[in-house]
Amino acid sequence: MVIASAPIQQTPRRRRRRREYSVGRTVAAAAIALITTLPILWIVINSFRTSTDIFASLSPLSWTTFFPEHVTMANYSSLWNGGFYRALWISVVVTTFSIVIGLVLTSTAAYALAVFRFRGRGLVFAIIVIGFMLPFEALAIPLYRVFTDWGLANTVIALVLPGIANGLAVFNLRQAFLGMPSSLREASRLDGASELRTYWSIYVPLNKAALINSAILLFLGQWTAYLWPLLIINDPSMEVAAINLAGAFAENSSDFGYSFAGTVILSLLPAVLLIGLRRFFLDAGASEGDKG
Amino acid sequence: MTQQRLPPVDGVRSATAPERAPRSGGRRRRHSQLAWILLFLAPTVASIVLLRIVPAIVAMKDSLYGQIPGSVADANFVGWDNYTRLFGDESFHQVVATTLLFTAVVNPIQVILALALAVLVNRRVWGAGVVRILMFIPVAVPIVGSAIIWGIALRPKGPINGLLDLVGLSPQPFLTSPGQALLSIVLICSWIGIGFLMSFLLAGLQALPEEVYEAAKLDRSGPFRTFFQITLPLLRRQVLFVLVTATVANFVVFAPIQILTRGGPQGSTNILMYDAYRQSFGIGNANIGSAEVVILVLIMLVIVGVQFRLIRGED
């Protein structure tokens, strides 16, 4: 990112002009970054103090709001008693299944749409466009009726299924696959490779960035899901981490420590992934926009 | 469903057509290719049909049936009754008005701020890389966590009021008042969404060729003129993408409302998405809830369609 903004050769006069601008800009950018990150710093720090301590420090605002006098891990251990870690395990299982199955589905579909011409292709495209134009949340309520009729309530399958078919991931992958020279596929087929082998040994390894991007989309969709697990799961032993947190907050909204510690843990994995893999995430955004 | 639409002779054509020269093997190859197409596409198509199209049809069908809430009798066909009931119901008018107000406020705020931030950090700012990552951090917090954080921060005796007190302003009721609750939800959704939206616009900005700006410089175009006459038109596709993404996402905002206000106080945050949930699961009137889902999707599609027209239509 820093490299991307490295200055190109400039005349001295222009460089000076740029610098004049950048002082105000830097201050503004830093102030805004502070506003976005202050709430996060606040909960990270406060997750290490007791709920009574947090409550006492909320108002009036003072330095103790941000700097605890006594540090404790009590909230993180109370998450055990509240069933948060078990719920977190279910979130991990559900998200892992969704990413693996979702990647196989979206990438094979993208391969078929990128390399084959066939009748009905337009229809398939239309279905996939509907797949990302209609927000899942709006259809979660009727889907709940369908799934309960089929006896899928309170199952891992019910949690995984909505996370696997991501229209946007199909489009991004297809876009990447279209960038592959067709001579590669021809050569592979002249060697007697099947379509499956061409897909797996040529297209998949050469498009890791697009696959990582799709994995992030699938991951975010499941990890942050709230409405669907709220509807389809009513057995507490099957609840996911987000539901556990919201449930604890609804039951005892003054146990700030539990909420803060849970939020910190729930945010750790996405934070590491998003910052570490940010490049892949943004690249897809650009190509999505280019495509319009 | 693609199966019947594929006659064996000319239905399937390889993208790399010239290679199927050996005439005798052509037919078999086309059949095997058809099998691959089905194998590769069927799971995705089937899951989208199951997860999006089937529930949409179920919602439409259910919205035409009626049942006394809590009754065990089967629902019977009532035609447009649920819709006429909703359209004649003043509390539903308020739900639609709240939804439209929320959409009209939250989306411009998010897109304009995201655009301003993207332009700001696109320039050579000291530590720009760090600032960009920091702005992106709220994306990592799952929406439930964001709702809880802000619910606590906006308490009457919370840190935001502490901050207002510190700068000499009087404390505000935020989520607890009918006049401010919806704006508080706008604030929460913006904090969640702006960094995410900004990242797409920033990627678009960085893809713009440097020469464009050099030309603007030679033209002695000022920063505002450069932005409105050069940057913005070139960025139109990304702006459209971000606007549509925000609009769709904000139509189905659920967690902050369900966790923090439950549609209140006095229905001031009761947008369609939450009311459809409340009707279906709180009051137990699933058919009215289904009608609301249908209305929600229709309004959303109309607004997204208008956005496409307005921004795309300038071509």
What is the total residue count of chain B? 315
φ and ψ of B77, to 5 deg:
-65, 130
Q: Give pLDDT tens digits for B90-117.
A: 999 999 999 999 999 999 999 999 998 8
Q: Which residue has the higher pLDDT, B128 or B51?
A: B51
Q: Point out the least confidently predicted range of A7-21, A265-279, B112-126, B194-208.
A: A7-21
- In chain A, what percentage of residues exceed pLDDT 90? 33
Q: How many CB pairs under 8 A join A and B?
A: 339
- Cβ A44 vs Cβ B146: under 8 Å: no
CA dist list (Å): A270 to A109, B49, B266: 26, 29, 36
**Alpha-carbon gap: A89 to the closest alpha carbon of chain B (Å):** 16
For residue A118, list its beta bridge partners. B12
CA dist list (Å): A250 to A11, A141, B259: 61, 21, 7
User: Would the pLDDT of A163 be above 80?
Assistant: yes
User: Would the pLDDT of B68 be above 80?
Assistant: no
Asked if B136 lies within 8 A of A275 by C-beta distance, the reply is yes
Predicted confidence at residue A148, as pLDDT, reads 92
Predicted confidence at residue A252, as pLDDT, reads 78
- Cβ A220 vs Cβ A163: under 8 Å: no
Burial of A183 (0-12, 13-18, 19+ CB in 10 A): exposed
Give contacts of B131 with chain A, Cβ < 8 Å: 29-30, 32-33
The structure tokens listed for A256 are: 């700030």
CA distance linking residue B217 with residue A89, whole number of Å: 56
Q: Which residue has the tokens 């239509």?
A: B313
Q: What is the DSSP letter of B73?
A: S
Give contacts of A161 with chain B, Cβ < 8 Å: 47, 50-51
Which among A135, A283, A286 has CB closest to B248?
Answer: A135
Asked if B141 lies within 8 A of A250 by C-beta distance, the reply is no
Average pLDDT, chain B: 84
pTM: 0.85
Asked if B304 lies within 8 A of A133 by C-beta distance, the reply is yes
> How far is Cα of residue A184 from the mean position of the Cα atoms in its chain?
33
Q: What is the DSSP letter of B207?
A: T
Q: Which residue has the higher pLDDT, B20 or A108?
A: A108
Q: Give pLDDT tens digits for B264-311.
A: 799 999 999 999 999 998 887 888 999 999 999 999 999 999 998 888
Q: Peptide bond before B108: cis, by omega within 30 degrees of 0?
A: no
Asked if A141 lies within 8 A of B276 by C-beta distance, the reply is yes
Dihedral sign of CA atoms B222, B228, B230, B231 in order: positive
CA distance linking residue B132 with residue A55, whole number of Å: 32
Q: Region B204-231: what's the mean pLDDT?
A: 80
- Degrees (nearest 5) of the Cα angle B258, B106, B257? 5
The structure tokens listed for B249 are: 């996402």
3-state secondary structure of A180: coil
Q: Is the ipTM of this complex over 0.95?
A: no
Q: Peptide bond before B142: cis, by omega within 30 degrees of 0?
A: no
Asked if A224 lies within 8 A of B206 by C-beta distance, the reply is no
Return the number of other C-beta atoms located less than 10 Å from residue A74's C-beta: 16
Return the number of other C-beta atoms located less than 10 Å from residue B7's C-beta: 9
